[in-house]
Amino acid sequence: MFGSYSVDEQTKPDKSLRLSLFFQTGSLYFYTCSVKSVDLEFLSTIDWEADIMSEIWDPKKAEKKLKSKSEMMVCDALMNQDIFSGVGNIIKNEVLFRIGVQPESLIGNLPAKKLRELIAEARNYSFDFLDWKREFVLKKKWLVHTKTICPKCCEKLVKKQTGLGKRRSFYCEKDQKLY
Ligand SMILES: [Zn+2]
């Protein structure tokens, strides 16, 4: 969650450094992250199509996985790294506001159109997130995450730990429907 990396130059102190890689053409540094050594067999079990920003991201596959988890709350589903690898808590909150869905809604109760919207927006927002982060305007672009007032209806937002993951959700009871 707080991890970061840098290329060609170590930008953080040694105590934050977890892994550094040196190549003939440059170097790569990873900070405040968990580093795990895995074998080739494990690598072959990773579903690269679940990477939300990958060129081979497969929305149909995500839809299929979601349909098998009808009892799961949407807030947990979006944070499920086997389905939406790369989606974090900020993206979860902003995506659910964008599509007008209350975080505790159950996957199985979402109309087919909403489910596809959820999948599409998870990817869309991830690209916006990256652009805004690079432009240093990410926080300014948040509509509900860490906010207290709904930008649509000006009512007070609800702040609550939701789902099995018990992660912070910020949502509007008026503009986000509970399915
Ligand atoms: Zn509202």
Domain-located, residue 58:
yes
Please count the structural domains in the chain. Answer: 2
Query: pLDDT grade, residue 49 (50/70/90)?
Result: confident
Q: Determine the structural domain holding residue 68 and report its residue range.
A: 47-171
Domain-located, residue 18:
yes
Q: Which CATH number characterizes residue 70's domain?
A: 1.10.8.50
Residue 145 C-alpha to ligand 1 middle, in angstroms? Answer: 13
* 113, two tokens: 């159109």
How confident is the model over 2-48, as pLDDT tens digits?
688 999 999 999 999 999 999 999 999 999 988 889 898 988 888 88
Residue 173 C-alpha to ligand 1 middle, in angstroms? Answer: 7
Question: Are residue 95 and residue 136 in the same domain, yes or no?
Answer: yes
Residue 155 C-alpha to ligand 1 middle, in angstroms? Answer: 6
User: Would the pTM count as exceeding 0.95?
Assistant: no
The residues near 102 (Cβ < 8 Å, ≥ 6 apart) are 96, 171, 173, 176, 177, 178, 179
Residue 152 C-alpha to ligand 1 middle, in angstroms? Answer: 5
Domain-located, residue 178:
no
Q: What is the pLDDT of residue 48?
A: 85
